[in-house]
Amino acid sequence: MQKILAKKLPEETLVQHTEKLLSVYASLKKAYPDVPGITGVQDFYLHLFYSICLHDLGKAASGFQGKWGKWGYRHEILSAGFVGFLPVQDDFARKAIGLAIITHHRNIQELSSGYATTLPYGRKLFLEKRDELNPSLEYIAEHLKRIPHWGKKYLGLELKETAIPGSAEEVDDSYSSCVKWFKNITEDEEWNSLHSYYGIFLRGFLTACDHLASGGKENILEGISEISTKLNIKPRSFQRKAGTLGSSVFLSAPTGSGKTEASLLWAERNRKNGNRIFYVLPYMASINAMYKRFCGYFGSENVNMIHSKASYFLYRAYTGNGDMPESEALLLINEYISLTKKIYSPIKILTPFQILKAFFGIKGWEMTLSEMFNGVFIFDEVHVYSPHITALILVCLKKLSEMNCKILFLSATFPEFLKNKIREVIPGIAELKPDIETEDDKKLLTIARHRIEMLEGEITDHLEKIQEEIESGKKVLVVCNTVRRAQQLYCMIECEDKKLLHGRFILKDRERIEAGIMGAIPDVLIATQVVEVSLDLDFDTIFTEPAPIDALIQRFGRVNRKGIKGTVPVRVFTLGSDMDKYFYNAERVKKTIEVLSDQKELNEFIIPGLIQKVYEDGYNGKENDEYESTMEAFEQVVGRLFPFYDCEDKDDYYELFKSVEVIPSGEVEAEFLEFILAGKYFEAARCYVNISLGQGMRLTHLNALSAREIKAGHKTIKYQVVDCEYDPELGLLLDTIVAKGVFID
């Protein structure tokens, strides 16, 4: 009998490929046993089984086997035409199975634009390609005869035999019988089923099985068990309580108290079967740090991190010590990144944008939502997002709650007004915080690590005070609200052992500076808000420009972190620079100054009350309008999500990313081009620096930002160059291009 291939390189027969999918299917079925319940279709896994058995049978066409990628047709259209031979009596079920098969690579929009058999050209093309099945009818018959055997092996069911076609003419026109039908069905029970979870999971899981099997995997990894044992900690009282709560939760606890471990104990209580854990963080640096931490707990094979620079982070981790050849590292990275897009690892650490991507209907969204079903979600520091992003997240969380997901919100600084907004989408959510009546929690809450000193005026008015602290031998942290102000202070402060850290360094220099700081804390560090995120630093004191109270609390957390230095001074200036209004709400900063001016010592017990005073009115008028309008608009977007279709306008999603990568002109661009021409793309990535979209627009207006490209082998690399000075010690000096008195920060 002829050999029909599903994959050419490396060679894999259709039978081998189908069995791989069925192996993945068996592990999915075990991990997600509750899917039939939420879909309302008790035979869901039987329908998915049949979809897998037939999904690639159209590849038996002689033209496909002879031409592969140059065949000029979609094998899925022929594959779905075999559904009529299945021993399925329910016509709706047959159409649903066919719809999953015909769309498992291309959505309905794509199929309709080139392969609609309702049009003369599409019908003629279908008939021509269908005739190419005739030479393989004997093979097709043997494939169909295997289905009852596979049913017994992977389903544990005795299935009726599948009918056998006598000629290719008996293969159905699946576009007309499935796609056209789906477009025309009215809003009845069948419409509701296919347009909801049944359709989502049927396409999502079929795609998941195909992608994972094509990637060389034959199962998904089982869910993490015995989390408490793997953490190997002696839990505090509030951590033990977290492990007993079987619902969604607010968890408020001080920085450094073990919030993350508490959240994982909660996850252990709330996950079952193969439910996945999603740990959501706002910043890439936080994700990188948490990934290392989780790998230590659970093993790297069980943990995925997902963000735009994950491949680069892995490259540095694999090759940083010179232990691994670059070629080997690249293979591992490609496999890793591929797996992060699939249902595979039981823990994913990611930004909320990866979740939003699914609800915007970006390609593959059904697979992502299928993976999230029954999942446990930990949102760390959800309060840091803008009203616009917060509204988007809460719309998603409302839908996830309907999908039996449990959600924990984790923060040291949680405004009450935001809790109330979350309660509107997750009614009955519980609340947990350390209990002052419990001995170990009481110590955590009442120790005073910081003493507030308000300094009148701007930071530049008190350089002498900063110098005194440095010269007294203390390790001093200075935090500015803008890069421009931080660069100014760095040049003004006199100290041999000083460092500058902000977000406008190229990646190579940012890594060098951060490594130096972590290796040995300098006498003085001048930084922007980047110091608030994931750097485990411990200074003796801080001088900071004014900011909202939650941001200041994060900055204070970099001083006397363990509380073993007694009660140390944290200095806050009453005035910032003129540019601060572009970053912080002025009224909120003013309230923060008023609240802190009445406070002497800070401990964790009183911090929630201070935050509540600052945020007692919640969002201001403009912020609330933005929040409400976004909620209303995005609920409509989510309401229009239909399986088998993808979002036609992706711009709304990609506009959420408010930054652009650029290369500084001069030496940095020369180094970038050298790496590109040598094929060292990860090294070239170290030459990029991020600026905001607003900065990019202003630079373009000043003719200081230009698009360029370079050919390297078969690739054309496009990049943008910013025409201004760059200093490895100071970073990107945007003001050097402005001779007209216009500042860009």
Domain assignment present for 442: no
Cα–Cα distance measured from residue 542 to residue 559, given in angstroms and rounded to the nearest whole number: 7
Q: Which pLDDT does position 503 carry in this prediction?
A: 93
Cα–Cα distance measured from residue 648 to residue 665, given in angstroms and rounded to the nearest whole number: 37
Please, are residues 198 and 96 in contact by the beta-carbon 8 Å criterion? yes
Q: Which pLDDT does position 741 carry in this prediction?
A: 44
Are residues 106 and 54 both part of a single domain? yes
Q: Which amino acid is at 56?
A: D
Please, are residues 208 and 367 in contact by the beta-carbon 8 Å criterion? yes
SS3 487: helix
Task: Tell me the CA distances in angstroms from 139 to 128, 210, 259, one per residue in order.
Answer: 20, 21, 59
Number of other residues whose CB lies within 10 A of the CB of residue 378: 24
Q: Calculate ∠ Cα 377-379-380, nearest 5°.
A: 140
Q: Is 363 exposed, middle or buried (0-12, 13-18, 19+ CB in 10 A)?
A: middle
Are residues 412 and 466 both part of a single domain? no
Domain assignment present for 615: no
Cα–Cα distance measured from residue 382 to residue 402, given in angstroms and rounded to the nearest whole number: 20
Q: What is the CATH number of the domain that holds 304?
A: 3.40.50.300
Which is nearest to 195 in space by CA: 343, 33, 203?
A: 203
Are residues 262 and 390 both part of a single domain? yes
Domain assignment present for 649: no
Q: Which pLDDT does position 739 carry in this prediction?
A: 45
Q: What is the CATH number of the domain that holds 137?
A: 1.10.3210
Cα–Cα distance measured from residue 285 to residue 732, given in angstroms and rounded to the nearest whole number: 20
Q: Which pLDDT does position 184 carry in this prediction?
A: 85
Domain boundary among 214, 244, 262: 214
Are residues 543 and 475 both part of a single domain? yes
Are residues 50 and 187 both part of a single domain? yes
Which is nearest to 587 in space by CA: 617, 608, 610, 607?
A: 617
116: left (phi over 0), alpha (psi -120 to 50) or beta: beta
Are residues 468 and 598 both part of a single domain? yes
Q: Which amino acid is at 101?
A: I
Domain boundary among 587, 603, 619: 603
Q: Which pLDDT does position 114 carry in this prediction?
A: 87
Domain assignment present for 653: no
Are residues 333 and 188 both part of a single domain? no
Please, are residues 76 and 105 in contact by the beta-carbon 8 Å criterion? yes
Are residues 332 and 466 both part of a single domain? no
Provide, rounded to the nearest whole percent, the portion of the chain with pLDDT above 70: 98
Domain assignment present for 74: yes
Domain boundary among 432, 458, 486: 432
Q: How many domains does one find in the chain?
A: 4
Orientation angle between helical segments 91-102 and 44-54, nearest 10 degrees? 50
Give every CB contact of residue 443 below 8 A, 6+ residues apart in sequence.
none
Task: Tell me the CA distances in angstroms from 52 to 202, 487, 600, 715, one per residue in order.
Answer: 10, 59, 67, 36
Domain assignment present for 159: yes
Are residues 542 and 501 both part of a single domain? yes
* 0.75 exceeded by pTM: yes
Domain assignment present for 744: no
Ranges in the chain, pLDDT < 50: 739-743
Are residues 165 and 92 both part of a single domain? yes
Domain residues for the domain of 725 are: 658-737
Cα–Cα distance measured from residue 123 to residue 188, given in angstroms and rounded to the nearest whole number: 29
Cα–Cα distance measured from residue 544 to residue 455, given in angstroms and rounded to the nearest whole number: 10
Please, are residues 171 and 78 in contact by the beta-carbon 8 Å criterion? yes
Are residues 422 and 284 both part of a single domain? yes
Domain assignment present for 185: yes
Are residues 258 and 191 both part of a single domain? no
Cα–Cα distance measured from residue 283 to residue 533, given in angstroms and rounded to the nearest whole number: 8
